[in-house]
Amino acid sequence: MSRLCTTWVCSLLPALLLSWTGSGLMAQSQADAGLDSVKVDRILIEGNKKTKEAYILREMGIKVGDRIPVTDLQSTLVQSRSLLQNTGLFNDIQINIAEWDEVTHEVTLVVELSESWYIFPIPILSLADRSFNVWWKVHNRDINRLNYGINFIWVNFSGVNDKIKLNLQGGYRRRVRLQYDRPYINRQKTLGFSARYEIVHQREFQFETRGNKQQFYRDEEQLIFRRQRAIFGMSYRPGVVSSHGFLVKYERNRIDPEASDLNPGYFLNGADQQRYFQLSYSFVRERRDNKFYALRGTYLGLSASKEGLGIFSERNKFLTEGTFAHFWPITEKINLETRLKARKEWVQEAQPYFGLTALGYGETFVRGYELYIVDGTDYVLSQNSLRFRIFSKVFNFGKIIPLETYRKFPIDVYFTVNGDFGYARNDFFNEENPLNNRWLRGGGIGLDFVLYTKYAFQFEYSRNHFFKEGGIFLNYRTRI
């Protein structure tokens, strides 16, 4: 009769085998017992109250019948855990070997999961400005620049990480948005889709850039900016590493006719509306251990987009963009992060001011220039951080927290040394904007607080080289 390993012994066995690989005993035992590889006989899933097993098995990258070299077993299980972590559905994941048949060399894997909370009727209280730093320092914490409302999100709606989102928002930016995302729709679990429709109304809009800062026009009596947008996208994921995306979009933007006189180039030729269709293709290769805050691995994203298909003559752009990120673990507590982003506009003709964004939006900025924007058709940006983990702990609050999935509170704190540089090209709106068409450098030090392995808040002191300014900035890290 075959002897089966106990759970705790088998969970240690891969590490023990790996520690013996340099000895003649290990080589001899592999030759005698055929321990060059093991076969996955069963995969048991525990703790998934909502998520379907088929989706978990699809995402973890290991399936029944796979043969795994013994020397790669430990790293394979670590990678599988990272793939499940990247779905964002689980607060805690453990993958262990429950049984190891010494005769057939077949193993049983047990995946223990703690699911996140999936239904979020979240009150909206957000900033209309492009960052907290701009709202706090430039607009003096003006409460009239806040958005409020409710954002209803149902994650994992049918157990396959699909999402329903309903956004009802008032305040500075009035918005109604309905969206549905589904990762796969076919039996092979390779094709998915997304659909979104939204309407936006505002009493204020950015009409030009001066001194590399946004200039706004506001009308208290009426709405002067309106947007209507419909998007449909398809995705193709043949595996767990690479994915392809295809998107078609219709967008219509309108401003008050009187406001168009402020900047005749806003939509070009003094127009007060802009309509266009867009076709886009994107490719992503994801090899990070955690896409929310990676410590090792690589990310590659490429895209091409044609805005304006000849149906309307109000927009004509062809853009290509790329993002590459690499994360090096230097020691157990030290790692290096580097990101490179670039964009190229291929249509060499006059472009409208609206949509001419480059550096200074979202996470695409040079540290130290958070309060400035650099418009442009093309840009290149390099962001780099050396990170030192100075604190790491999992707090268990027990029954004090009513939601079981959030009773364990993991937190990691990193001290960072940062250095960035970037360049944005603008051939159309350069008057009174000294940062356009020049190389920019900036950097400093900071603290990154990572909660639940997927929420990262950054407090940084940064300086820029052009204005010789420094300040403390708060940033929130997203996936890329």
pLDDT in tens, 48-57: 888 888 888 8
pLDDT at 405: 66
How far is CA 388 from each of CA 298, 309, 385, 412, rounded to the nearest angstrom?
Answer: 19, 49, 10, 10
pLDDT at 85: 84
How many percent of the chain have pLDDT more than 70?
Answer: 91
Domain 7-115, CATH among 3.90.79.10, 3.30.930.10, 3.10.20.310, 3.30.450.20: 3.10.20.310
In the chain, what's the furthest Cα-to-Cα distance?
Answer: 88
- Does the domain at 183-477 match CATH 2.40.160.50? Answer given as yes
pLDDT at 19: 35
How far is CA 404 from each of CA 55, 73, 286, 399, rounded to the nearest angstrom?
Answer: 23, 31, 30, 8
pLDDT at 212: 95
Tokens 């193709």 locate to 236
Split at pLDDT 50, 70, 90, the class of 147 is very high
Question: Which tens digit of pLDDT belongs to each residue from 206-258?
Answer: 999 999 999 999 998 899 999 999 999 999 999 889 999 999 999 999 999 88
pLDDT at 480: 61
Number of other CB atoms surrounding residue 32 within 10 Å: 8
Q: Show me where the domains of the chain are located.
A: 7-115, 183-477
User: 7-115 and 183-477 share one CATH topology?
Assistant: no
Stated length of the chain: 480
Question: Which tens digit of pLDDT belongs to each residue from 168-190?
Answer: 999 999 999 999 999 888 888 89
pLDDT at 479: 59
Question: Which tens digit of pLDDT belongs to each residue from 13-39?
Answer: 443 333 333 323 333 343 345 578 899
3-state helix, strand, coil in the chain (%, to 5): 15, 50, 35
Instruction: Quote the CA–CA distance of 404 and 462 in Å, as a whole number.
Output: 39
